[in-house]
């Protein structure tokens, strides 16, 4: 099939692109503003393929200054968007450990003791210190709290109502079509294949869609962006080494909740010092809350689900959450390299937008607005080129799209943020000081060193738990978990002193129940496994097996052969396995031993 423009992924970046583009293809009087080259006499044919089964199922993001959104929708009102609220009270909280189970450095222990000793003079309650002020770079004043799923459905409806572009959910793009360094379109995923991708009943090869311009907005772990990184390389000095998995609950708060819509709480310090948390309140007693577990958290058992439960149970938060009910659950990777990971933004026939193009601001924790902004910048560039009848060459895209991007606030703020997180390579205290320095000096000062590949940071289970659990005990727990074909983290956390989770069947539910109740995960038949263990021999001798421990959906299990097993039916497509592997890929040490390919299914909730 031939079209004019094909887009990969319908996240905020592509939504920004299509919102701006769709309004400018046809004039107000119905005449063509620009013309299709594949269907002369018609407006340009623009298609967008989204992997997830519906619009808004594959996204995340909640609180935003909404600068770019307001530029696209000047009349936007939170009242018109489900679950949206204007930002109200903002707090940053340092959570102390009420159980003594977390792994805190000597410096943090001393800081905690000092805080507890002087708490009568501090804004301290329920084992939490409320920072006296929210640093300006973290404030979201005048912004919005959104459910990104609901917002994307709203934005998708606006885009489709123009009648000039089409969005196809449930349609993963398998690869970019590259001819002599030029991207000429995309190939969709094969259907009717077995787990390994071999043709079986009802085999239908993925269709080739040729386009003059391919817009890649497939997010932080998108396979098309990574294919181009592999084929064209990253620019000198750039790397993708910093990640976090964000895991989130959407919750009905108890009827008598004192929390007002618009409330924004940011936390750090607990359940482990490396884990950041958030709680945002939507209208009608609904809250979005969750944690981020970063790649620089040197634990071989970094299971976001268990940590999320301990975070909710922190006394400061639990007094608000007790009696609440799970509505929706999800997990997604956040690309935390920011400008460190900026790929080639353009090439002949393609342009990259959004988080996969390094837009996320790692200092302010903002990604939605930045992704949307780069989409609109590309749309303006595309209209300019279409009107001038110029082809989508790298040079033309650089002179229009990249020029706009470099001159925008996204670039200016991205530069301030660029090195702000490097301190975390040396520990949490250095990381926090580094962020504050970068934030307060507009990026002129920072601390730390360049990030290393995530696989280099993963210690063995035995080393990580030295002093807490003996090697003999670990060996015993390993044997027990192997017999049950279960992951190890639960047993290790119990042994390390974490209290048992008091399941209540409403909010504190098992991981599997969260998948069923909150994620409603589904995987259609007839598609290949999208998670592949590239070198089974490396898995067989792998000690940490962190892919199993970190899997957000318990879709990766120990398996019977020494190589982990993957269950597509439980995969939420968070992409965490891509960077949670302790072995380098022998062909490319910047990558690891897992391939995360294009795939169907996943979460069925548009509330995340």
Ligand X SMILES: Cc1cc2nc3c(=O)[nH]c(=O)nc-3n(C[C@H](O)[C@H](O)[C@H](O)COP(=O)(O)OP(=O)(O)OC[C@H]3O[C@@H](n4cnc5c(N)ncnc54)[C@H](O)[C@@H]3O)c2cc1C
Residue 553 partner contact from ligand X, ligand SF4, none using kind-dependent CB cut-offs of 5 to 8 Å: ligand SF4
- Name the helix (H) or strand (E) containing 225: helix 223-232
CA–CA dist 412, 478 (Å, integer): 49
Binding mask 472-511 for ligand SF4 (x = CB under 6 A): ----------------------------------------
User: Which is nearer to ligand SF4, 268 or 579 (by Cβ)?
Assistant: 579
53, 112, 218, 411: which one binds ligand X (CB under 6 A): 218
CA angle 69, 75, 78 (to 5 degrees): 70
68, 216, 251, 371: which one binds ligand X (CB under 6 A): 371
Interacting positions 170-189 with ligand X (CB under 6 A): 172-173
Stretch that binds ligand X, among 67-75, 83-91, 213-221, 579-587 (CB under 6 A): 213-221
Those residues whose C-beta lies under 8 Å from the C-beta of residue 5, and which sit 6 or more positions away, are: 21, 44, 45, 46, 47, 211, 212, 213, 214, 215, 382
- Name the helix (H) or strand (E) containing 547: helix 546-550
Interacting positions 268-327 with ligand X (CB under 6 A): 290
Q: How many residues bind ligand X (CB under 6 A)?
A: 41
User: Which is nearer to ligand X, 70 or 468 (by Cβ)?
Assistant: 70
Q: How many helices (H) and strands (E) does the chain have?
A: 19, 27
User: Which is nearer to ligand SF4, 72 or 593 (by Cβ)?
Assistant: 593
User: Which is nearer to ligand SF4, 33 or 565 (by Cβ)?
Assistant: 565
Interacting positions 394-433 with ligand X (CB under 6 A): none
User: Which is nearer to ligand X, 68 or 253 (by Cβ)?
Assistant: 68
Closest separation between CB of residue 55 and ligand X, Å?
A: 8
Those residues whose C-beta lies under 8 Å from the C-beta of residue 106, and which sit 6 or more positions away, are: none
Closest separation between CB of residue 278 and ligand X, Å?
A: 7
**For the purposes of burial, counting CB atoms within 10 Å of the CB of 298, is it exposed (0-12), middle (13-18) or buried (19 or more)?**
middle
CA–CA dist 550, 489 (Å, integer): 9
Closest separation between CB of residue 232 and ligand SF4, Å?
A: 25
104, 226, 248, 591: which one binds ligand X (CB under 6 A): 248
Binding mask 537-576 for ligand SF4 (x = CB under 6 A): -xx--x-xxxx---xxx-xx-------x------xxxxxx
Torsions phi, psi for 39 (to 5 deg): -135, 80
Residue 434 partner contact from ligand X, ligand SF4, none using kind-dependent CB cut-offs of 5 to 8 Å: none
Torsions phi, psi for 27 (to 5 deg): -75, 165
Residue 401 partner contact from ligand X, ligand SF4, none using kind-dependent CB cut-offs of 5 to 8 Å: none
3, 5, 6, 9: which one binds ligand X (CB under 6 A): 9
Q: Is 354 within 8 Å of 410 (Cβ atoms)? A: no
Those residues whose C-beta lies under 8 Å from the C-beta of residue 270, and which sit 6 or more positions away, are: 95, 96, 97, 102, 310, 311, 314
What letter does residue 171 receive in the DSSP assignment?
-
User: Which is nearer to ligand SF4, 82 or 519 (by Cβ)?
Assistant: 519
Closest separation between CB of residue 294 and ligand X, Å?
A: 12
Closest separation between CB of residue 333 and ligand SF4, Å?
A: 8
User: Which is nearer to ligand SF4, 8 or 92 (by Cβ)?
Assistant: 8
Stretch that binds ligand X, among 91-99, 117-125, 221-229, 266-274 (CB under 6 A): 221-229
* Residue 593 found at the interface with ligand SF4 (CB under 6 A): yes
Question: How many other CB atoms are there within 10 angstroms of residue 244's CB atom?
Answer: 25
Stretch that binds ligand X, among 29-37, 59-67, 267-275, 420-428 (CB under 6 A): 59-67
CA–CA dist 199, 472 (Å, integer): 48
User: Which is nearer to ligand X, 409 or 503 (by Cβ)?
Assistant: 409
Read off the tokens for 29.
Answer: 């009087």
Question: How many other CB atoms are there within 10 angstroms of residue 579's CB atom?
Answer: 27
CA–CA dist 303, 100 (Å, integer): 19
Stretch that binds ligand SF4, among 205-213, 398-406, 482-490, 577-585 (CB under 6 A): 577-585
User: Which is nearer to ligand X, 222 or 262 (by Cβ)?
Assistant: 222
Q: Is 501 within 8 Å of 508 (Cβ atoms)? A: yes
* Residue 217 found at the interface with ligand X (CB under 6 A): yes
Closest separation between CB of residue 329 and ligand X, Å?
A: 11
Q: Give a three-class secondary structure readout of 472-489.
A: HHHHHHHHHHHHCCCCCH
Closest separation between CB of residue 313 and ligand SF4, Å?
A: 23
Torsions phi, psi for 255 (to 5 deg): -60, -35
| Helix, strand, coil percentages for the chain (3-state, nearest 5) | 35, 20, 45
Q: Is 556 within 8 Å of 548 (Cβ atoms)? A: yes
Q: How many residues bind ligand SF4 (CB under 6 A)?
A: 27
Stretch that binds ligand X, among 222-230, 233-241, 250-258, 514-522 (CB under 6 A): 222-230
Closest separation between CB of residue 149 and ligand X, Å?
A: 10
Provide the pairing of β-strand 2-8 with 144-145.
unpaired
368, 381, 382, 528: which one binds ligand X (CB under 6 A): 368
Question: How many other CB atoms are there within 10 angstroms of residue 191's CB atom?
Answer: 17
User: Which is nearer to ligand SF4, 34 or 571 (by Cβ)?
Assistant: 571
Residue 61 partner contact from ligand SF4, ligand X, none using kind-dependent CB cut-offs of 5 to 8 Å: ligand X
Question: How many other CB atoms are there within 10 angstroms of residue 367's CB atom?
Answer: 27
User: Which is nearer to ligand X, 88 or 323 (by Cβ)?
Assistant: 88
Closest separation between CB of residue 541 and ligand SF4, Å?
A: 8
Binding mask 504-533 for ligand SF4 (x = CB under 6 A): ---------------------------x-x
What letter does residue 311 receive in the DSSP assignment?
H
What letter does residue 515 receive in the DSSP assignment?
I
CA–CA dist 79, 587 (Å, integer): 52
CA–CA dist 277, 143 (Å, integer): 19
CA–CA dist 200, 235 (Å, integer): 41
Q: Give a three-class secondary structure readout of 27-40.
A: CCCCCECCCCCCCC
Q: Is 239 within 8 Å of 340 (Cβ atoms)? A: yes
Residues that bind ligand SF4 (CB under 6 A): 531, 533, 538-539, 542, 544-547, 551-553, 555-556, 564, 571-577, 581-583, 593-594
Residues that bind ligand X (CB under 6 A): 8-13, 49-52, 58-64, 172-173, 217-220, 222-224, 246, 248, 290, 332, 334, 354-356, 360, 366-369, 371, 598
């Amino acid at each position: 099939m031939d079209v004019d423009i094909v887009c990969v992924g319908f996240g905020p970046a592509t939504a920004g692109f299509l919102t701006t583009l769709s309004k400018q293809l046809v004039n107000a009087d119905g005449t063509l503003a620009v013309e299709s080259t594949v269907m002369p006499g018609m407006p340009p044919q623009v298609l967008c393929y989204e992997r997830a089964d519906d619009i808004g199922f594959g996204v995340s993001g909640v609180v935003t200054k909404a600068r770019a959104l307001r530029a696209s929708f000047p009349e936007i009102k939170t009242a018109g968007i489900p679950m949206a609220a204007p930002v109200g009270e903002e707090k940053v909280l340092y959570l102390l450990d009420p159980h003594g189970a977390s792994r805190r450095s000597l410096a943090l222990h001393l800081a905690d003791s000092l805080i507890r000793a002087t708490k009568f003079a501090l804004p301290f309650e329920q084992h939490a210190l409320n920072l006296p002020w929210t640093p300006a770079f973290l404030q979201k004043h005048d912004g919005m709290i959104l459910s990104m799923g609901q917002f994307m459905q709203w934005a998708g409806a606006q885009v489709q109502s123009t009648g000039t572009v089409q969005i196809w959910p449930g349609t993963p793009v398998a690869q970019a079509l590259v001819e002599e360094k030029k991207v000429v379109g995309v190939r969709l995923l094969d259907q009717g294949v077995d787990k390994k991708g071999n043709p079986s009943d009802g085999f239908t090869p993925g269709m080739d869609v040729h386009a003059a311009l391919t817009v890649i907005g497939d997010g932080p772990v998108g396979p098309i962006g990574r294919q181009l990184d592999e084929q064209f390389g990253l620019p000198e000095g750039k790397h993708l080494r910093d990640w976090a998995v964000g895991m989130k609950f959407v919750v009905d708060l108890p009827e008598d909740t004192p929390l007002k819509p618009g409330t924004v709480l940011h936390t750090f310090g607990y359940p482990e010092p490396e884990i950041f948390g958030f709680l945002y309140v939507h209208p009608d007693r609904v809250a979005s809350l969750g944690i981020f577990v970063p790649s620089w958290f040197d634990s071989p058992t970094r299971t976001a689900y268990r940590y999320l439960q301990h975070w909710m149970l922190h006394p400061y938060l639990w007094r608000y959450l007790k009696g609440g009910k799970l509505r929706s659950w999800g997990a997604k990777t956040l690309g935390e390299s920011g400008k460190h990971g900026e790929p080639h933004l353009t090439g002949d026939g393609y342009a990259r937008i959004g988080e996969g193009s390094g837009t996320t601001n790692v200092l302010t924790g903002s990604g939605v607005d930045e992704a949307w902004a780069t989409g609109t910048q590309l749309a303006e560039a595309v209209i300019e080129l279409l009107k001038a009848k110029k082809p989508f060459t790298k040079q033309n895209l650089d002179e229009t799209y990249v020029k706009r991007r470099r001159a925008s606030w996204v670039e200016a703020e991205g530069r301030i943020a660029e090195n702000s997180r490097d301190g975390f390579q040396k520990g949490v205290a250095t990381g926090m000081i580094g962020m504050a320095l970068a934030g307060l000096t507009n990026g002129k000062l920072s601390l730390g060193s360049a990030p290393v590949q995530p696989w280099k940071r993963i210690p063995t289970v035995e080393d990580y738990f030295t002093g807490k659990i003996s090697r003999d005990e670990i060996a015993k727990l390993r044997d027990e978990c192997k017999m049950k074909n279960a992951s190890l983290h639960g047993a290790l956390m119990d042994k390390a002193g974490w209290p048992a989770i008091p399941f209540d069947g409403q909010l504190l539910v098992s991981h599997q129940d969260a998948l069923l109740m909150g994620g409603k995960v589904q995987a259609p038949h007839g598609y290949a496994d999208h998670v592949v263990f590239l070198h089974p021999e490396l898995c067989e001798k792998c000690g940490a097996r962190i892919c199993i421990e970190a899997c957000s959906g318990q879709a990766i299990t120990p398996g019977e052969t020494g190589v982990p097993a993957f269950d597509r039916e439980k995969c939420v497509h968070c992409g965490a396995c891509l960077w949670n592997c302790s072995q380098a890929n022998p062909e490319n040490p910047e990558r690891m031993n897992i391939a995360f390919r294009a795939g169907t299914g996943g979460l069925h909730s548009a509330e995340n």
